[in-house]
Structure 1
């Protein structure tokens, strides 16, 4: 009997924890999108006004951005510094795809970021500025959608984790 009680408690705890972790992802997504937009704005400043070379601009942006967004830019800076004869776009794509799973962001934000990577370093300052600002507008739209998802699903995720765990316990008894 004691063993069943301990097992039921562990299942309830695990289910609740899973629900809270999923809810945290819904809460983190709008914050991280805002953080990414801010980091792109810093990158814009480095490129356009500071005329900083791209590897250095990525490094500065990474050091000023909070985590996990800073890891995205650090990975891009590391890929670019490694060289290996790859283009900026290849380095950017590889870095974003490798570091993206550490964020709570989803495919639409990744698409915006990858599209931006195909332009950076390939055109003049004005064109890069235009694309950086376009990416900021697109990220703002994604942030609004993420905030809507958060309002809809955050509380539900917490409750669903607990309720599903309770269902499993009931079915076990």
Structure 2
């Protein structure tokens, strides 16, 4: 760190103006700022993934309650969820509910998969999360009520396990990403100088 500051703050060479020195300092600050921002961005992705998994769990529990206690049909239960839950997963469930309500002859699995491709791109769910979510949706439409309850319970358990796994090392990973961002900026600054 001290070496980088010495390189930046050294006296200008003969023929080198203060403007060039100012440009160097500004460039170094931009490099360090950008890499620090990237570190914070990667750290926030972990938080967003955790929020998305919490939302998926909440929605699955709401769906289970609608099917089990209110005896609601799946399209109506999905529509009810969109009214009671607001988050990054809500547009997905609105699309699935709308498609199911049209009775176009397309299976729930196909509707679920196409809606995932269109509506879940703005979430922080990983490939593993999306695969589990896809399996959850594919099985919903084919099962009777008891099997649906068991399948929803299975999905909630999967999400809870993933959330516990993330919570175990989330703070350390977030701190690591942020620190690496700062250190990478300093390293690149030293290389550039």
Separation of aligned partners in 1, 2:83 and 2:40:
30
5+ unaligned residues in a row in structure 2: which ranges?
1-20
Is the counterpart of residue 119 in structure 1 residue 136 in structure 2? no
How far apart are 1:166 and its partner, in Å? 1.4
Separation of aligned partners in 1, 2:51 and 2:153:
19
Q: Which residue of 2 aligns with 1:2?
A: 22
Separation of aligned partners in 1, 2:86 and 2:60:
12
Which digits, 9 at most, give the CA deviation of each residue in 1:22-56, with x for residues without a partner? 10111222232122111111111222222333223
Separation of aligned partners in 2, 1:75 and 1:171:
50
Q: Which residue of 2 aligns with 1:164?
A: 184
Instruction: Look up the SS of the partner of 1:66 in the other structure.
Output: coil
Q: Which residue of 2 aligns with 1:105?
A: 125
Aligned residues: 173
1:121 to 1:167, Cα distance in 2 relative to 1, 3 A: same
Return structure 1 stretches of 4+ with deviation > 3 angstroms.
Answer: 78-85
Instruction: State the TM-score, normalizing by the size of structure 2.
Output: 0.80
5+ unaligned residues in a row in structure 1: which ranges?
none
How far apart are 1:94 and its partner, in Å? 1.4
Is the counterpart of residue 148 in structure 1 residue 148 in structure 2? no
Instruction: State the TM-score, normalizing by the size of structure 1.
Output: 0.89
Separation of aligned partners in 1, 2:50 and 2:23:
42
1:93 to 1:172, Cα distance in 2 relative to 1, 3 A: same
Q: Which residue of 1 aligns with 2:36?
A: 16
How far apart are 1:137 and its partner, in Å? 0.7
Q: Which residue of 1 aligns with 2:68?
A: 48
Separation of aligned partners in 2, 1:66 and 1:149:
28
1:132 to 1:81, Cα distance in 2 relative to 1, 3 A: same
